């Protein structure tokens, strides 16, 4: 995967290590989600299919896929936000689960922008198995809210 990318698409000072630090002590960390790449206009992360992310039939849980998708899309939306007076939060997400993934696998999700606006953003997230097959496709709408005063 590529190294940290600080292209003008991302807010100045945003690096892969910066966004990794933001995920510490969150649901993403609990599920083993690891950010692995920030490209020119995408963010990628991996997630293990294990006891934390399986459903009872020992396959990837659809809810875990959605959590991966929203995590990556949220990280990307806020990294692309150049206005410090606001943050972006999830407003709507949908997901189509296309094929099962057995326990012991690792999936990779990649978020790319569909629309970057002042008050909303839309991100497409594709999750693939280790063979590169599409497992889940998700669309995430993010809404701008006022950033808390520090």
Average pLDDT by consecutive 10-residue portion of the chain (150 residues)?
A: 52 93 95 96 97 97 98 97 95 98 98 96 98 98 91
- Residue 150 confidence (pLDDT): 67
Q: So which residues are the catalytic ones?
A: 70
- Residue 125 confidence (pLDDT): 98
The region, left, alpha or beta by phi > 0 then psi within -120 to 50, assigned to residue 38 is beta
- Residue 4 confidence (pLDDT): 40
CA distances from 114 to 39, 41, 102, 111 (A): 15, 10, 30, 10
Q: Are 72 and 125 in contact (CB under 8 A)?
A: yes
Global pTM reads: 0.92
Domains, the chain: 16-146 (3.10.129.10)
- Residue 3 confidence (pLDDT): 38
- Nearest to 64, CA basis, from 89, 22, 32, 36: 32
Give the N- to C-terminal CA distance of the chain in Å, as an integer. Answer: 35
What is the arrangement of strands in the sheet containing 134-146, beginning at the earlier edge strand?
A: 34-38, 43-48, 106-116, 120-128, 134-146, 86-97
- Residue 149 confidence (pLDDT): 79
- Residue 47 confidence (pLDDT): 98
């Amino acid at each position: 995967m590529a190294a940290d990318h600080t292209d003008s698409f991302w807010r100045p000072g945003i690096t892969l290590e910066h966004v990794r630090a933001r995920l510490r002590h969150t649901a993403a960390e609990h599920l083993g989600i690891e950010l692995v790449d920030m490209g020119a206009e995408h963010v990628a992360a991996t997630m293990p299919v294990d006891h934390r992310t399986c459903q009872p039939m020992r396959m990837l849980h659809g809810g875990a896929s959605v959590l991966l998708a929203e995590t990556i899309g949220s990280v990307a939306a806020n990294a692309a936000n150049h206005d410090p007076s606001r943050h972006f939060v999830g407003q709507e997400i949908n997901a189509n689960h296309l094929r099962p993934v057995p326990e012991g696998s690792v999936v990779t999700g990649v978020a790319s922008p569909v629309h970057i606006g002042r008050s909303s953003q839309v991100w497409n997230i594709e999750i693939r198995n280790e063979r590169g097959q599409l497992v889940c496709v998700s669309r995430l709408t993010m809404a701008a809210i006022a950033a808390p005063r520090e």
